[in-house]
Amino acid sequence: MALLELKLLNTQLQYAEPSSAPYQKQIVSLQLVTILWMCAEAVVAIYAALRARSVALLGFGADSGIELVSAFVVLLQFKKVSHVNEKTAARITGLLLFALATFIFGSSVLAFTSRGFQPQPSYLGIALLIAAAIVMPWLSSQKRTLGAMTNNSALKADAVQSSMCAYLAWIALGGLVLNALFKVSWADPTAALLLLPIMVLEGWKAMWGQTCSDCA
């Protein structure tokens, strides 16, 4: 997610081929929709996570925040407002993801071992994750279509990353639903731990400067 926003899309949009020019307005619109959605997603997820002491929601919200920053950097680059070094930005993103994964791991251990950190049901969080599980595949579909029409490798990769965000939402949703329906408090930190491999993988790819086409 974060790596894609920082790398291929910036280069592709700034030096777009003539065939992609008619679709640039749609591409920018999709980026703006992504930024607005990720902003709302991060704020609501973190708010709900703090209220319910939900590690899964906190991990999902924090990851959304990192994606938001990355998308904003890409937008600034496309508007030629900023000239952020791609490798530096990607490495910072990777470090943030590693730090987030470490924090989520520690929080999950506390949730498993301390009653004071046990998560409570969060119906707001469940609603948000259901919405994310619907919106992100739609964004992925739109970007995949535009990517095919323009032969834009950045958008094709972005579509994959949007799908990955939907996977994160489904994993976190499973933990929250189990906790809400069956009062299984360990389901929430378990879901959070299941988010870690995706975060670590993203961080690793960002640190080593892999593109999404390398990952496919």
Q: Is residue 101 part of a domain?
A: yes
Residue 111's φ and ψ, nearest 5 degrees, are -65, -35
Residue 5 has pLDDT above 50, yes or no: no
Q: Kindly report the CA angle at 136 between 130 and 141, in degrees rounded to 5?
A: 135
**For residue 185, what is the DSSP state?**
T
Q: Is residue 216 part of a domain?
A: no
Number of domain units in the chain:
1
Q: What is the pLDDT of residue 67?
A: 76
Helices (H), ranges, the chain: 2-6, 8-14, 24-52, 55-78, 86-113, 123-150, 153-182, 187-207, 212-215
Residue-wise pLDDT tens digits, 152-187: 655 665 676 678 788 899 999 999 999 999 999 999
* Rounded Cα distance, 196 and 216, in Å: 20
Residue 35 has pLDDT above 70, yes or no: yes
Q: Is residue 213 part of a domain?
A: no
Residue 33 has pLDDT above 90, yes or no: yes
Q: Is residue 188 part of a domain?
A: yes
Residue-wise pLDDT tens digits, 113-134: 888 888 999 999 999 999 999 9
CATH of the domain at 147: 1.20.1510
Q: 59: buried, middle or exposed (CB in 10 Å: 19+, 13-18, 0-12)?
A: buried
Q: Is residue 215 part of a domain?
A: no
Full domain range(s) for residue 33: 2-208
Q: What is the pLDDT of residue 82?
A: 57
Residue-wise pLDDT tens digits, 47-104: 999 999 999 999 999 888 877 876 676 566 655 555 655 566 667 777 888 888 899 9
Q: Is residue 142 part of a domain?
A: yes
Average of per-residue pLDDT across 11-36 = 68
